[in-house]
Amino acid sequence: MNKQQSISNNPVENPEKWVDLYGDYLYRYALYRVYEATVAEDLVQETFLAALRSFKNFQYRSSIKTWLTGILKHKIIDHFRKKAKEQQIDDIEPNINKLDDLFTKNGQWKIKPANWNADPQKLYDQKEFIKILHKCLSELPGRQASAFILREIVGEKTKEICKILDISTTNCWVLLHRARMYLRRCLEIKWFTNEDVRESK
């Protein structure tokens, strides 16, 4: 491909420049929400193609970066919608038994929540903590993971999430409840209880 000297900001004349400018940013944005590198790569590609298709409608009311991020967000939500169609309802229940072990028959705590005493901002600066957070998120079963990510990371309203995942509102609350219950337990085991050991040394 022989590109002439006339390099323009218009992506239609120079699409390579778009990828150079925004590719990494969009990829990271996607990867943090869908976890799988290949999925994130495909979403970035779809985003650029969709952007080329609708560039003539772009009004420069926002920055190109914001505009592209908006397109990517839609693609990410579509990804969760498609994924939910492939997943059968049976994965709504999978880690219920594990979670039930946390309580006695009378619904009292059997494994009592520990005192974390943690500042999210400080913890967030630690690479190790992020790794463990990633690991715990990746262990969540299909729809629970989708529900949690859409709610807490993408920032969707519960109503929207029900539509995207095609489930009832009650089911949605249950999924979110189980995801949170699982994540806090996972962090407690993999990070906080270890920390207690470290501190008491």
Point out which residues bind another protein (CB under 8 A). Answer: 1, 11-12, 15-16, 18-20, 23-25, 27-29, 31-33, 41, 44-45, 48-49, 52-53, 103, 106-109, 112-116, 118, 120-121, 123-124, 130, 133, 148, 151-155, 158, 172-173, 176-177, 180-181, 183-184, 187-188
Residues 6+ positions from 117 with CB-CB distance below 8 Å: none
Smallest distance, Å, CB 81 to another protein?
19
Query: Can you tell me which residue has the tokens 């407690």?
Result: 188
Query: Based on CB atoms, which residue is closest to another protein, 19 or 64?
Result: 19
Query: Based on CB atoms, which residue is closest to another protein, 84 or 151?
Result: 151
**Distance (Å, whole) CA 101 – CA 121:** 31
Give the number of C-alpha atoms closer than 13 A to the C-alpha of residue 38, restricted to the C-beta side: 0
**Count of Cβ atoms closer than 10 Å to residue 194 Cβ:** 13
What's the chain's length in residues? Answer: 201
Query: Based on CB atoms, which residue is closest to another protein, 1 or 201?
Result: 1
Query: Based on CB atoms, which residue is closest to another protein, 7 or 130?
Result: 130
Smallest distance, Å, CB 82 to another protein?
20
Query: Based on CB atoms, which residue is closest to another protein, 16 or 86?
Result: 16
Query: Based on CB atoms, which residue is closest to another protein, 88 or 108?
Result: 108
DSSP state of 91: G
Q: Is 15 exposed, middle or buried (0-12, 13-18, 19+ CB in 10 A)?
A: middle
Task: Name beta bridge partners: 103.
Answer: 109
**Distance (Å, whole) CA 143 – CA 88:** 9
Smallest distance, Å, CB 168 to another protein?
13
List helix spans (H) across 105-168: 120-124, 127-139, 142-148, 158-165
